[in-house]
Amino acid sequence: MSYIKEKFKVKADELSTEVKDLLKNHGSKVIGDVTIAQAYQGMRGITGLVTETSLLDANEGIRFRGYSIPELRDNLPKAVGGAEPLPEGLFYLMLMGELPTEADVQHLSSVWARRSHVPNHVFDAIEALPITTHPMTMFNVGIMALQTESLFAKAYAEGINKKDYWSYMYEDSMNLIARLPRVAAYIYRRKYKNGQHIQPDGLLDWGSNFAHMLGYDDEGFKELMRLYMTIHADHEGGNVSAHTTHLVGSALSDAYQSFAAGMNGLAGPLHGLANQEVIRWILAMQEELGGGTPTKEQIEKYVRKTLADGKVVPGYGHAVLRKTDPRFTAQMEFAKKHLPEDELVKIVWMVYDVVPGVLTELGKAKNPWPNVDAHSGALLVHYGMVEYEFYTVLFGVSRALGVLASLCWDRALGLSIERPKSVTTEWMKNFVEGK
Ligand code: FCX
């Protein structure tokens, strides 16, 4: 057993004991009420899930095991000559609950490089789809084709003790994380670069090898990938991709099946697809105005038109956050450092100056501030990745780090199959009338 796996097992046994005590001594304590509005309106604000890897504060933003994004950028190990955190380190932190050493991160880089082989039938399955297929559909087909490799599914079919589920989930999660960049890069090169594929470089870290296979060997893009893979990884447990992965996993579906389910949620425009929608929206605005950099007045007019047409302004608002997303701020800082004169980035910043005021004035959106998706596309365009339909796949590769670390915890803690109660509107009416 690898030392990381052994260490995880020790931590998992400790927490399992604590959870058993918590349930035995306080299991019936009430942690919240549920209103009728919450039942109809996306269960907002209901505390009903346990996710160890990260915790969101409405005003401060996400903390991964207690560390904010600026703290991660300071404290996680970096590549030689790099300034952004290595995503391997964030995975270690989320899994283990403590900061990794340089050696831990190097170990994970080499384990994932060793496990990154993708069988040919996965590429064949992707090739069977029309070239016009959305990259997120190709990505999910690739993930599902990889499910043939699930060690948990095989072991379960042969018969295993439930005490060992966590071990197979751990192995499947490590293998899936190792393989995803290759699958994603294959899709990118197939769809946009005439199928001219690039072989992995086993000496590179996970994020920069991904950049390399995508066809971007620029050191700036590699740094961006490390930052991107770090900040998109997790956003506590209730968001659609994390919750779906956890929910499907609770049926003892394996890591591949659970993650694919989560990715279908990420593919929705109110969630991960918003990153492509932001760039599409800015390009449409530019086209309507005849190209070039719009003025703030023109942006404001376009925002009002978007809202009047009954559409959302992509990249703005959030179900939980009530301030500017620190993931937006981290990308803004990256842009100020590496590409302060970029035209599209400047437009993103102008949009940031305009949209919160308009949304606040209209008073409908509970959060008028930008989320992670408002900035990411402009950075990618700067380095030449203009194919915005691909952006959500990048988000998906990163999201694997958080939701799969969480699935390891779900199995280690032996969490139950999820099955909340639902009622009908008839039931609600009877309840209100006291029947
Ligand atoms: N533009 C226009 N209207 C917006 C808005 C926006 N950016 N954000 C919220 N609103 C509207 C809602 O559509 C809702 O209208 P309704 O009453 O007619 O249904 C009203 O304001 C109240 O919504 P609110 O409670 O503030 O927001 P929700 O929790 O329902 O939804 C999301 C949150 C994120 C879905 C919403 O703000 C939105 O649609 N934003 C644009 C899409 C986006 O950027 N998604 C990415 C989010 C995230 F970062 C991620 O998952 O990647």
- Compute how many other C-beta atoms are within 10 angstroms of the C-beta atom of residue 162: 10
Burial (0-12, 13-18, 19+ Cβ within 10 Å), 403: buried
* Cα torsion through 379, 402, 118, 12, rounded to 10: 160
Confidence of residue 45 (pLDDT cuts 50, 70, 90): very high
Which of 101, 30, 31, 89 has its CA nearest to residue 64? 89
**Cβ 267 under 6 angstroms from ligand 1:** no
**Contact (CB, 8 A) for 138 and 129:** yes
Does the annotation count 271 as an active-site position? Answer: yes
**Closest-lying ligand 1 atom to the alpha carbon of residue 316:** 7
Q: What tens digit of pLDDT does each residue of 359-416 get? A: 999 999 999 999 999 999 999 999 999 999 999 999 999 999 999 999 999 999 999 9
Domain ranges of the chain: 274-382
Backbone angles phi, psi at 148, to 5 degrees: -55, -20
Whether the predicted pLDDT of 346 surpasses 90: yes
Whether the predicted pLDDT of 291 surpasses 90: no
312 C-alpha vs ligand 1 centroid, how far in Å?
A: 7
| 3-state SS assignment for residue 126 | helix
Which of 414, 406, 413 has its CA nearest to residue 51? 406
Assigned token pair, 33: 């009420």
Q: Which helix (H) or strand (E) holds 55?
A: strand 54-57
Kindly state the average pLDDT of the residues 268-284: 97
Query: What interface predicted TM-score (ipTM) does this complex get?
Result: 0.99
**Contact (CB, 8 A) for 361 and 304:** no
Point out the catalytic residue in the list 271, 325, 375, 410: 271
What's the mean pLDDT when you consider all of the chain?
Answer: 97
Kindly state the average pLDDT of the residues 301-327: 97
Against a cut of 0.95, is the pTM above it? yes
Point out the catalytic residue in the list 373, 375, 382, 410: 373
Of 3.40.720.10, 3.90.1150.10, 1.10.3190.10, 1.10.230.10, the CATH number of 274-382 is 1.10.230.10
314 C-alpha vs ligand 1 centroid, how far in Å?
A: 8
Lowest-confidence pick of 1-5, 260-264, 314-318: 1-5
Most ligand 1 atoms within 8 A of CB, residue of 235, 239, 300, 364 to mutate: 364
366 C-alpha vs ligand 1 centroid, how far in Å?
A: 8
375 C-alpha vs ligand 1 centroid, how far in Å?
A: 17
**Cβ 315 under 6 angstroms from ligand 1:** yes
Whether the predicted pLDDT of 93 surpasses 90: yes
**Contact (CB, 8 A) for 118 and 182:** yes
Q: What tens digit of pLDDT does each residue of 210-247 get? A: 999 999 999 999 999 999 999 999 999 999 999 999 99
Confidence of residue 171 (pLDDT cuts 50, 70, 90): very high
Q: How far apart are CA 222 and CA 227, in angstroms?
A: 9
Angle between helical axes of 373-382 and 343-362 (0-180°, round to 10):
170
Confidence of residue 1 (pLDDT cuts 50, 70, 90): confident
User: 316 pairs with which residues across the strands?
Assistant: 370
